[in-house]
Amino acid sequence: MNSAEQHVLFIGSVWPEPASSAGGSRTVQLMELIIAQGWKLTFASTAADSEHMIDFSKWPVSKVSILLNDSSFDEFISALQPSIVVFDKFMIEEQFGWRVAAHCPNALRILDTIDLHCLRMARQKALKENRLFEETDVLKEEMAKREIASILRSDISLIISDVEMQLLSTRFQIRNEILHYIPFLLNPISTEATNKWLTFEQREHFITIGNFVHEPNWNAVLYLKQEVWPLIRKALPQAELHVYGSYSSQKVEALHAVKEGFYIKGRAEDAQAVVAKARICLAPLRFGAGIKGKLVEAMQCGTPSITTAIGAEGMHGSFPWNGIVANETTAIAKAATQLYTDKDAWVKSQENGVGIINSFYAKERLGNLLIERIKEVQNKLEKHRVANFIGAMLMHHSMMSTKYLSKWIEEKNRKL
């Protein structure tokens, strides 16, 4: 197929909100890559419009609302006939993958996993049970069966973390031919940009930022309030922690405590502006998966960070971290205090962050590799699918079971 003739259908669980979550940023990065190829892009979702979604009127993208468990989607995709379909989560592939396969069989099906949900959930369960996480825990997660099945049914699955690539290969025995490693696609930080950053002396206080609906973020904020921040505050009585995040709630607002220097700020109108004023970003994540947007944003703003091994996982490869990685409560507090007061270590950490962004997340190199992979698989799609027999088997059974469940729901909705 001629590259200029490509038509990509992106099916999102929500409309992209790059300022609200790492997942939203990831979606926008993929959209930009698609548009840069000169390919036509249609974005569809079952979600209602949101206040913070991108302004589609400023994008060369067709925005289409679709219905779940409704045959109108069959008519829509039959008329559209995209050459590529991207699902932004495995649940979306479950809901629409079989319909795409039935009505647009020659379209390349790509699953963007964002992160491995089963890994995040297994780690959360281990934390709740007050025990160490073991890699084999993911094999016991019910969600893993759904998530891995979705990966196998797809022609290519985009994996955002090298750690998750390894997990899929070793624990789930998934062939590399259907996986493609691609972290965030970021523009390099120029010397001109770093020259505009506030200096060590011009910055003050700590910051943490993230979507409060995302369970790892909420857990980290609670952990900071109850255990970590009291130790930091004792060592640095004048320091403050500013907690920013979208989709706040009453339980979040209840943590606001001026006397303790713990400030709940809510949604940041300009996240980079507030991060760029802080001296340290705190992100003591105790479970999670994928790439953490807040830590990427901190590097882009020249703000060193204190995080855990889980927070830094899959984020920097062999490059030195832009701050300190610590896992125990006292070690996290000590690291935060040390970096907050040590200018030389702080400057070095800031430089490390620039190195990570400019090398590990090189937009042009990573983007070119993905486009090459897409074209390669498209050129041998039939052979590619024949080699993935388990995926074909799962698609066959999914089309049978999901198809009739969906039709039953559609008929029920029609009667109601």
**pLDDT tens track for 141-165:** 999 999 999 999 999 999 999 999 9
| pLDDT tens digits along 256-306 | 999 999 999 988 888 899 999 999 999 999 999 999 999 999 999 999 999
Q: Mean of the pLDDT values across residues 202-217? A: 92
Q: Are 30 and 158 in a shared domain?
A: yes
Domain limit, last residue, from 319, 334, 360:
360
Residue span of the structural domain in which 38 resides: 3-186+363-415
pLDDT of 381 strictly over 80: yes
Which residues on neighbouring strands pair with residue 62, listed in sequence order? 42
One domain for residues 389 and 345: no
- The rounded mean pLDDT for the chain is 94
**Distance in angstroms (rounded) separating the CA atoms of residues 187 and 299:** 12
Q: Specify whether 167 is located in the same domain as 22.
A: yes
Give the whole-angstrom CA distance, residue 347 versus residue 406: 56
Q: Whose CA is closest to 291, among 159, 107, 99, 101?
A: 159
What is the sign, positive or negative, of the torsion defined by CA atoms of 331, 280, 356, 316? positive
Number of domains the chain contains:
2
Distance CA 53, CA 39 (A): 22
Looking at the structure, tell me whether residues 90 and 182 fall in a common domain.
Answer: yes
